[in-house]
Chains A and B, each alone.
Chain A
Amino acid sequence: SQKIEQNSETLNIQEGKTATLTCNYTNYSPAYLQWYRQDPGRGPVFLLLIRENEKEKRKERLKVTFDTTLKQSLFHITASQPADSATYLCARMNTGFQKLVFGTGTRLLVSP
Chain B
Amino acid sequence: SQTIHQWPATLVQPVGSPLSLECTVEGTSNPNLYWYRQAAGRGLQLLFYSIGIGQISSEVPQNLSASRPQDRQFILSSKKLLLSDSGFYLCAWSVMSGQQETQYFGPGTRLLVL
**CB neighbors of B among A18-33 (8 A):** 31-32
Nearest first, the 6 closest Cβ-Cβ pairs linking A and B are A43-B105, A104-B43, A102-B44, A98-B101, A46-B102, A43-B90
Q: Verify if B19 is at the interface (C-beta below 8 Å from A).
A: no
* Main SS at interface, chain B: strand
Report B's interface with A, CB cutoff 8 A: 32, 41-44, 46, 49, 51, 57, 59, 88, 90, 92, 94, 96, 99-108, 110
Q: How far is the CB of A3 from chain B (nearest CB, A)?
A: 10
Answer whether residue A61 sits at the interface, using C-beta atoms and an 8 A cutoff: no
Point out the residues of chain B lying under 8 angstroms from A42, CB to CB.
Answer: 107-108
Q: Are B57 and A97 in contact (CB under 8 A)?
A: yes
Q: Which residues of A approach B to under 8 Å, CB–CB? A: 8, 31-32, 34, 41-46, 49, 51, 89, 93, 97-105
Tell me whether B92 and A43 are in contact (CB under 8 A): yes
Do A46 and B104 touch across chains, with their CB atoms under 8 A apart?
yes
Q: CB < 8 Å: which of A8, A31, A100, A105 contacts B103? A: A100
Q: Is the CB of B110 within 8 A of A41?
A: yes
A93: which B residues are within 8 A, CB to CB?
A: 100-101
Nearest-Cβ distance from residue B49 to partner chain A, whole angstroms: 6
Considering the chains assembled together, what is the distance between the CA atoms of A5 and B114 in angstroms?
32
Pairs across A and B, CB under 8 Å, 8 listed? A44-B103, A46-B104, A49-B100, A89-B43, A100-B46, A100-B101, A102-B43, A104-B43
CB-based contact A104/B90 at 8 Å: no
Q: Is the CB of B105 within 8 A of A45?
A: yes
